[in-house]
Structure formats: C-alpha cells, structure tokens
Structure 1
Amino acid sequence: MNKPLIWVLTVVIAVLGPLLGILARRLVDRIAAKTSARNLTLHRMGFGLARDLAMPVCSLTGLLIALSLPNGLPFSPRAVHQILEAAFMLAVTYALARLAAEVVTTVVRRITGMSGSVSLFSTVTRIVVFVLGVLITLDSVGVQITPLLGALGIGALAIALALEGTLANLFAGVHILASKTVQPGDFVKLDSGEAGWISDVNWRTTTIQDIPGNYIIVPNRKFADCILTNFHRPEQDMAIMVEVSTGYDSNLEHVEAVTMEVARQVMKEHDAGFKGADPRVRFHTFGESGIEFRVVLRTRHYEDQYLLISEFMKALHKRYRAEGITFPYPVRTLAFARDEDPRSWLPASLHTP
C-alpha cells in the first residue's frame, strides 16, 4: 500500500474517532433521558461518567488506530503511544474528578442534611483528584515525580505564606460547614446587622441573600469569627413580640381576652402564623399615656413575621374600635408656678396684646 493512500486512511480514521464520540455521547444522553431508574443518583453519576469519557476515548482510540498503520508515522511510535496514554489518563482524571466531586457533595448532603449549593466540597475534591491524576500520569510516562514532589513541597510552603489570607478563608469555610452551626438555606443575622439566607459557602467567601434579594459576600474568616443568630436552629418557627398599649380606664381582663381572640384568629387564618402555638399577653409597664403590654405571636419563618404583624395590627385596631377599647394618645401635663405667666413659654411672635 503506497504512502499517500495510508496517509488518507490515517486522516479518515482520525476524523471518524471524534464523530463516533459525538454519536456515543448523544446515545448516552438519550438512554439517560429514557431510563427510569430506582436509584436516580447512581444512574445520573454513571451516565455522567460515560458522557464525559465518550468523546476522549473514541477520539484517542481513533488516533491510536490511525497512527498504528504501517508507514503512517514519520516519527517514533513509542513517543506517540506515550502522548496518547498521557492524554487518555488526563481525560479519565478529569471525568473522575467531576464524579468524585458529585459523590462527595451528595454524601455530605445526605449525612448533614444540607440544602442548597455547597461548592467548597466539590472544589476541594476536584483539585485533590486532579493533582493525583496528573502525578500518576507523569509517573506512567517515565517522569520521576520524587524530585517533583520535593519541589512541590517547597513551592507549597512559599505559596502558603503568600496566600495566608486565602488559606485562612479556605479552612474557615471547612470549619463553618463541619461545625454544622449554619448550613446553606439557614436564615442568619450577623452582629454587624446583615441578615439573610445562606446561599453558598465556597473556598473563599460565604454568600448571604437578604430579603430584598441582594447578595451579601462575607469572607469565610470574618464569618467564622462574627457573632450571629441562626433563626433556623433549633427550629425554624420563632416567637415575635408586638408592643401595644391601652388607656388607664380600660378593663384589662377584657382587653386581654379580646387581644387573645384576635391573635388566635390571625395566626389561624394566615399561613404566616404558626397554627399549633398559643399567643400570650403580658402587661409590663404603667406608661405616661396608658398601660403598656406585649403580645407574643409565633410565626413559621423569620421572613413571615412582617406579614403576621401587619395583619395582627389591622385586625386588632378594627376589633378595639368595635369593642370601645381606646388606644391612648400621648398626654403630658405642664404645671406652672402661681406667679408665672403661661404665655411666657410661647414664642414672642405668638403673644397677644
């Protein structure tokens, strides 16, 4: 067989490899879409691994067959085989890194009960698996990795000193997730005043989404050192207090009964209220204008308190007016000396002759 024909055949086989890879990838996607498996997680991971390996395996196999033809290579076949072997191992390493990251994230979520995105675990896992795969690849092609490991150790020490803040954030993020004090999806409030849901904890920052929908980015080191309140631990429902006052002439027992009835009705009729809890009324202060008391309601989530308080105040105002219960207006009595003219307290422009 003459050389031009061999070269043409080599090119054809090299091109067929990626085409077969594309067909194999589409076939895996179609089978994954049609297969109804009992364990969806394992099947998703298996199909994902097959999809990642379809293109590189078919392409590298086509190249290996094409370059193995007689008189088809103008250079050493051994060098070609080493290059293809290294490329294949890197492709497998990439696919295994993605699979390992997904496995670790899934296992951690099931053990800890986390919800939401936790990119820190997947990032660390991918880096570890990929570094190990590169070292194994270099060793398989004849590169001595022992001196390389020594150089990497010295380089890692220098990088650790240069990236002290970054590494501190990394280990702080691991501590945040391992301690289970907060988890993605929890509603927290920092001592600096920021409040919102934990959206993600990555290798450097913790992302908090506040009630208006904006993202608050906090470095992991500062987040781990701050004093925070977790409104989802130990339970998501929470007590809220509404300050109310009534006149001194009011019948306090009647006020308490009416207020309790309104509070129960509002908590029952609105989804924001915690229906299994009973409200409480506690009188606490003889104020300047009336008797002040506190109504304790219970809401399902932190963000529901605003709607519950609003609905309670509207219902309580309407019911007090119907029952004749007064809301006291601010009243202040001024006492003057007998020989003092009260008009002296007024501005000069308001004095009358």
Structure 2
Amino acid sequence: MMQWILPVVFVLAGLLAGIIAEKFFFKKLKTFVLKTKIPGSELIFLSLHRMTFIWFVLAGFSAAVLSAPIKPDIATVLHKIVTIVILYSVTIVLARLTAGFVNLFITRSEGVSASLISNIAKTAVFVLGSLILLQTVGVEITPIITTLGISGLAVGLALKDTLENLFAGFYLLISKQVRTGDYVKLADSHEGYVIDISWRNTTIRELSNNVIIVPNCKLSSAIFINYHLPVKEITLTLNVGVDYESDLEQVERVTVEVAKEVMAEIAPQLIANEPYIRFHKFGDFSIDFTLYMRVNEFFDQRIGRHLFIKKLHKRYQEEGIKIPFPARELYIPENAAKLEN
C-alpha cells in the first residue's frame, strides 16, 4: 500500500493545482489582461476555458503513472491515453482560437459572413489535429487519407445537395453579390436584411422581424435586387400633384426647401446631393411632378416619406399651394336640358 501513496499524492496534487489555477490564478490573470485591453486576449482566454484544469489533472495523472508500481504494458497504454487527451484538448484550443480570430478578422471586413468561413476553418483544424493525433499514437494515416480520397466520390454523391449549397455559399461570398447587412428583394417579393450566410442557407430578416431561410444554391441562381449595391445610398422618389393655378416656380422652390429640411434630419452627410423635382404630366385635375431625394439606405425611405409628407403639407398650407383632389365638371348643353324637361 505504501507504494501507492506517491501516485495518489500526484493525482490529488494535479486536481488541487487545476482547481487553484482555474479559480484563482487564471481568473485574476484574465481580469488583468482584459483591463489592459491586449489585442486578442479575450479570445485566448475563451479558448483556454477549462483547459488549464484538464492539463494540470493530466500532468498529475501522468506523474502518478510513472511512479506507480504497474506493469510496463499497462503504463504504455495509460501514457497513450494521456497523450490522446492532451492532443485532443490542444486541438480544441487551436480550433477555438482559429474560429475566434477568423471571426475577428472577418467582422472588420464589412459585409462578409463570418459563420461559413469560421466553421470551415474550425473543421480544418479538427481534421488536421485528428490526423496528427493518429500519427502520434502509431496509427498510419496514409491508408486513411487514401481511403478518404477513394470514398470521396461516393460521399460527394451522397451529399450532393449539401456540397452544392456549400460551394454556392462560397460563390456568393467571393462574388460579393450578397453580403451580410445588405437589403435584398427576391423575385417572389420576399425582402429583408441578410444576417448570415452559412454552409447551407442564407438567412434574411424581414422588416417585420420574421426570418426567411433560403438555400444558397437557390439564392445564387435567383433574380433579386440588392439595394446596397453598388452603394447603400438610395434615391427616394415621391409623386406629388399641385393645382393648375399654382406658381410652378414657387412650387419647385418650396418643395426643394422642405426636402432639404428632411435630409438635414435623416441624412445630413448627403446634403451635398441636393434634392430636385421634375414636372412630368398635365393630369386630369393637377400638374404632376416627382421629387428625387437621397437617403442613407433602403429602410430610410419610410421615415423620409413620413417626414416629407408632413412637412410639405404644412408648408403648402402656409404658402397657399393647393394639392387638389379628383374633381370633374359636367357641362350640360342648354338644348339637352330642354329635351329632358
């Protein structure tokens, strides 16, 4: 029994060291580093979450195996198990770090979806780590790679739809036809903001906060309008009609002034693009024109119309400009009236 005291001490020491490292030193070091705002520090600590405890426990267990009175073949098996666990935990940490830094890099690139690329990067790290783990424990990976290559065709046929959506997602990202944050309108009248492009689907959030799930292959071959390309700024158009007795010079001046007031509220950075109107029709009861005004993006058209109609209606009343409603005058010939009598 005395021979087992030292191995048990090593195991308990590993457990105690892991708890102390996780609860005290690691936590305090994390707080210190986050306060100093070292770039990437938060990602590093999130990746190392619970791993310091596991590594201290494994170190204690490994020391216990070396000092325990056990057979060499059993000790070899136990050492392989420890090695596998250590390599797997390191693979997890590297996968977390890779996905985290990929997300960090991509989020700085406007409109690029992070989930698809980060998941691919994480999967690649896991595959590479698994191959290294197998090679370390003595498993020949060359036959495995050969088998995977031969069976790749069968897997590709079985996962035809999945792979089609995967490559379609890459095509959408590379071509930059659709980016996260873009406002798109599909041919079937669905429209909204693109919030994510994953390995299988593109997620679109409607203005009503509902979510539309579109397979990547469908979106890549669909006809749609991207209101954020080539730029987010969009021209708001609004049709207005004024009375035939109106002074059209006054109408143009007042309307443009009101449009400038609205732009100063919702799009002051675009004020250099002055709004303008174009008369285009002698209507049945009004002279019709269209206002053209720049706003920041598609969604701003709603608030732009709302403010413009309110302000224009008030200003027209102050200036004595009439917006006529449909009316028709009937002319009855005198002879026709006598015949009816």
Q: State the TM-score, normalizing by the size of structure 1.
A: 0.85
CA distance in 2, matches of 1:334, 1:12: 109
Q: Which residue of structure 2 aligns with residue 84 of structure 1?
A: 82
What's the C-alpha RMSD, in Å, of the aligned pairs?
2.7
Structure 1, unmatched stretches of 5+, are 345-353
Deviations 1:131-183 (A, max 9, x none): 11111111111112222222222333222101111111111111212222332
Q: Which residue of structure 2 aligns with residue 185 of structure 1?
A: 181
Q: Of residues 57, 60, 76 in structure 2, which corresponds to 1:59?
A: 57
Q: 1:16 to 1:232 in 2, by over 3 A?
A: farther
Per-residue deviation, 1:123: 0.7
Per-residue deviation, 1:74: 9.1
Q: Of residues 156, 163, 171 in structure 2, which corresponds to 1:160?
A: 156
Q: Which residue of structure 2 aligns with residue 40 of structure 1?
A: 39
CA distance in 2, matches of 1:225, 1:122: 24
Per-residue deviation, 1:51: 4.1
CA distance in 2, matches of 1:156, 1:339: 93
Letter in 1 for 2:244: Y
For the Cα contact (< 8 Å) 1:119–1:202, is it kept in 2? Answer: yes
Q: Which residue of structure 1 aligns with residue 206 of structure 2?
A: 210
Letter in 2 for 1:28: F
Q: Secondary structure at the match of 2:218?
A: helix
For the Cα contact (< 8 Å) 2:244–2:287, is it kept in 1? Answer: yes
CA distance in 1, matches of 2:21, 2:110: 35
Q: Which residue of structure 1 aligns with residue 27 of structure 2?
A: 29
Q: 1:25 to 1:193 in 2, by over 3 A?
A: farther
Q: Which residue of structure 2 aligns with residue 131 of structure 1?
A: 127
For the Cα contact (< 8 Å) 1:242–1:294, is it kept in 2? Answer: yes
1:328 aligns with 2:327: no
Q: Which residue of structure 2 aligns with residue 271 of structure 1?
A: 266
For the Cα contact (< 8 Å) 1:172–1:221, is it kept in 2? Answer: yes
Per-residue deviation, 1:323: 1.9
Q: Which residue of structure 1 aligns with residue 293 of structure 2?
A: 297
Per-residue deviation, 1:337: 9.8
Listed as ranges, the matches of 1:306-317 within 5 Å are 306-317=302-313
For the Cα contact (< 8 Å) 2:280–2:288, is it kept in 1? Answer: yes
For the Cα contact (< 8 Å) 1:236–1:300, is it kept in 2? Answer: yes
Q: 1:257 to 1:16 in 2, by over 3 A?
A: same
Q: Secondary structure at the match of 2:94?
A: helix
Structure 1, 283-292 or 270-279: larger mean CA deviation: 270-279
Q: Which residue of structure 2 aligns with residue 248 of structure 1?
A: 244
CA distance in 2, matches of 1:61, 1:340: 112
Q: Which residue of structure 2 aligns with residue 20 of structure 1?
A: 17
Structure 1, 79-88 or 190-199: larger mean CA deviation: 190-199
Letter in 1 for 2:285: S
1:237 aligns with 2:236: no
Deviations 1:209-268 (A, max 9, x none): 222222221111112222333333333222100110012222211211121122222222
Per-residue deviation, 1:312: 0.8
Structure 1, 84-93 or 63-72: larger mean CA deviation: 63-72
CA distance in 2, matches of 1:231, 1:180: 13
Q: Which residue of structure 2 aligns with residue 221 of structure 1?
A: 217
Structure 2, unmatched stretches of 5+, are none
Letter in 2 for 1:291: I
Letter in 1 for 2:296: R
Per-residue deviation, 1:47: 3.6
Q: State the TM-score, normalizing by the size of structure 2.
A: 0.88
Deviations 1:34-88 (A, max 9, x none): 22446422x3344445446413321211111112223156962111111211121
1:107 aligns with 2:131: no
Per-residue deviation, 1:201: 1.3
Q: Secondary structure at the match of 1:315?
A: helix
Q: 1:318 to 1:109 in 2, by over 3 A?
A: closer
Letter in 2 for 1:284: H
Deviations 1:171-197 (A, max 9, x none): 111121222233222222223222222
